[in-house]
Amino acid sequence: MLPRSLSEIYDNLRDFFVVEDEAGLVGCAACHVTWEDLAEVKCMAVREDCRGQGWGRRLLEACIEDALSVGVRRAFVLTYIPQFFEARGFRRVEKSELPQKIWSECIHCVHFPNCDEIALIQYLDRA
C-alpha cells in the first residue's frame, strides 16, 4: 500500500469497500475507474487472521459489481499475489498493455521505478 495524503484519501474515499468484524477492520479494496472501459481493483488487503474465510473474494466481487454498474467492461490489478486473482478469472498481462495513466501513483512507491508487481486483467460479465 502506498502512503497517502489526507487530500488523496478524501479524493478516493468513495472507491473503497471496507469489511469490519467485532475486532475491527477485516479488510478493504477499492474500485477505481481509470478509463472509459477500464477499472483498477486496488488497495486490496485482508487482516492476516481473517484470510481464507472468503473476505477477499467478497471484496473483489463488490469491486467488480461496482465496475459493472457504471458500464466498465475490464478490470485490472497489480499484485504480489497473482494466484488469488487467477483463481477468480484474471489473466496475466504485460504491464505495457495497460494505459500509461495507471502509473501516475507509482512515483510514490518505494519500488519505483523497479516495480515487481504482476499485472492481471479480466473482461467483466454479469454471469
Per the DSSP assignment, residues forming a β-bridge with 11 are none
Q: Where are the beta strands (DSSP E) in the chain?
A: 16-21, 24-35, 38-46, 74-79, 91-93, 118-123
In the chain, the domains with their CATH numbers are 6-123 (3.40.630.30)
Per-residue model confidence as pLDDT tens for the chain (127 residues) = 566 778 877 787 889 999 999 999 999 999 999 888 999 999 999 999 999 999 999 999 999 999 999 999 999 999 999 999 999 999 999 988 887 766 666 666 666 666 788 999 999 976 5
Q: What pTM did the predictor assign?
A: 0.86
Q: Which residues of 21-49 are buried (b: 16+ CB within 10 A; e: fewer)?
A: eeeeebbbbbbbbbeeebbbbbbbebbee
Query: The C-alpha cell of 68 is what?
Result: 459493472
